[in-house]
Chains A and B, each alone.
Chain A
Amino acid sequence: MRPPIKPIPARPSMYGIDPSLVRTRVSELPGMTSVALHELFPDLPPVISPGQDGIAEVRKRTVEALKDVDMSRIKPEHKVNICSSHHGFTLLGGEPYAEMLRTIRDVIEERTGCRNIRLRSGVGLRFRETEEYIRRYKLDEYFKGKAMGVAPVDEGVAIDTEIGTLYGIKRIYDADWIVHAHNSDVREVHFHRMVDRAVKPFGMSYARIETRSTYHQNLGPRAANFVARAIFDSPFVQSKFAFACFLTVAPHGILGVDADSDLYSLNERITEIGCRYYGKMMELFGEIDECIAVLDFPCPVVYVFSAGVIYANFVAANTDLFDLESPLPAYTWYTEAFYGKRGYPLLPDIPRLNKAIKMCVHSYAWTGYPSAFFSEHIPTVVVGQEQAELFNRDPQNLNYMQNAVVAESPECAIDFARKVTGVDKIVIFDGAPGGINLSPSLRDFLLARAPEVSRRVDEELMPKWLRQRGVIVKPVAA
């Protein structure tokens, strides 16, 4: 039996329990196995990380990607903000993204003579998160004391757009030039629906609360990401935008680095990668008929991931997240908003959460994202009283434990879940690089279903998904 893959380790954070309390990873329990993503989808392209050349390859690829990017407008006396986001630091432990950021800084300095290069790092709903990453990766030292986490409640700047005034974070834009340093991991496809994915941080981690609330409350599930385009296209942002540099990511690792002064060209390239490879994984997960889902990763509940698919997307895997003809995924905030007082959707055609998940074992996941909706609708076992208490202290999760039970250990939780549900298929969201940690029965199930899923995505779904986004179909990019 193939051994489990070593998962991403627990990490210290104010949003999670002390790593010393994470004594057992669920993948270490007897009988667990793994499947490599290449076994499921042999057409997946090669990756640079994980890889034998390690982080050096990320630096090399970043330098290569930036080689043809015009930096002539950046003068030695200018200020440059390299704008980054928390999400990149969750990919493969975060070091690849940190190295891309360091390299961008070095290349700008070398090519332009500019030395006033600052790192600005935006967040989701955990306002200290990027401060933690900046310390972890010693980025403040690397940026000569000019690295800073920014949050959506920080001082704002009004931005005139073609849909009226929206608001950005002042410290994102307080430079002559901004560089958009991001990644192509699809992550919250339930929110952005892979429409202008590359542009999203302009409406989210670089944006103030007014803008983010517009995204999640004012525009609707498929129009939401337009706020990002509106801000990016504004004369204010265009007057400062220098270029973008992205880690290109697939479910099994980092493919390379892409950079462009034309963000929409870059967006088209990553849209194709995202739809094709993540689309296959999500379609495959949608095939699962019954399972126990295990959360075991240093991220909030929604963001723990397996094979590049976050839990927030797995709970909606019964719906096609990429299909724009379908207005609402089974989980997105608009969907959650549309559940009435009696606990079911206000309209009969609003999809319910993925019924294949018979129980969720929350072995290790962080606070800092409103997650009570999941424990309300999916039977949930949380491991350890310390973790339960942490959630009870989180202003975003005061109701999470109202509908969850506590188990003493991962062993007890899995045992309980198996007995209660009678289900043997277990999928572990622990970020295992290059594969999935799971039970043997689920491994067999996925291997049997993957070929047909692959064909369906390539031949039927990809043309539809790309057509809906106005992206011209091109050969697969490596």
Chain B
Amino acid sequence: MKLITLIPVVDAQKCKGCKTCARVCPVVAIKIKDKLALVDAERCRGCANCEQRCPEYAITMVTREKPFLVKVDLDGLDYGKIKELCLKARFHPEQIVCYCTATRAEEVAGAILLGAKTPDDISYMTGIRTGCKVECIQPLLRMLEAAGIQPKPVPGGWQWYGRTITAWEIPEQVKEKYASRGFFFAEDIELLNRVVNAPLQGKE
């Protein structure tokens, strides 16, 4: 869930149509036409990636006249399926998977059950990955994979490249090799497993 309060404004005099903004937009809301960046205002989730990476400093974030909330409403969805998907991806359903928007795994699962096929779709539906834009890509890829979906990155984009390893997949020889160097792989897996299987606090 995220309140969308900002929108980018492109200075046409400064924009050179370099595509950087389009390549970093987590919801693919920017297109380049006639060497000018065009923002889809409805699709934009106000993350400011475009403003922060524009090499020409051509983008300014301004306050929207009408802020709006994006969220996946879990009412009406089968919570059993939400829980099943979270656990398959090894997340507790109430685990926070985005520290900026405080999005929980259950909302990501809800987005997937409602038809999200890519991280970009999930960001569009929930607002996740539109705060810092850095830390929450792996939970999205893990959840999609658990749902049997293999998303493809946006061609030519830098939004994301691929899923990486999890604690449960660390090779045994790696665990053994570094056990005396302060890497507590097995102990961390035990902790993560306990969290995943902890009771729900909210209403099931």
Contact = CB atoms under 8 A, between A and B. Distances in A.
A342 B202 contact: yes
Contacts of B47: 395
Interface of A: 125, 127-128, 151-156, 158, 162-167, 193-196, 208-214, 216-223, 225-226, 229, 324, 327-328, 333, 336-342, 344, 346-347, 369-370, 372-373, 392-393, 395-399, 468-470
A197 B202 CA distance: 38
A346 B188 contact: no
Given A393-B61, A395-B130, A468 B182 contact: yes
B131 interface: yes
Nearest to B95: A337
B182 A193 contact: yes
B49 A346 contact: no
Contacts of B99: 333, 336-337, 370, 373
B195 interface: yes
Contacts of A128: 52
A370 B96 CA distance: 13
Interface string B19-42: 000011000000000000000000
Given A153-B53, A163-B170, A338 B48 contact: no
A158 B161 contact: yes
Given A217-B135, A223-B183, A341-B94, A154 B53 contact: yes
Given A210-B137, A327-B187, A342-B202, A153 B131 contact: no
Contacts of B162: 165, 167, 210
Given A155-B23, A220-B192, 7 more contacts: A151-B52, A154-B53, A209-B134, A221-B188, A393-B63, A395-B100, A398-B101
17 contacts: A125-B134, A210-B161, A210-B162, A210-B163, A210-B164, A216-B135, A217-B135, A217-B136, A219-B167, A220-B167, A223-B185, A340-B198, A342-B202, A346-B95, A393-B61, A393-B63, A398-B3
A336 B164 contact: no
Nearest to B196: A346
B6 A469 contact: no
Nearest first, the 3 closest Cβ-Cβ pairs linking A and B are A220-B188, A340-B201, A195-B182
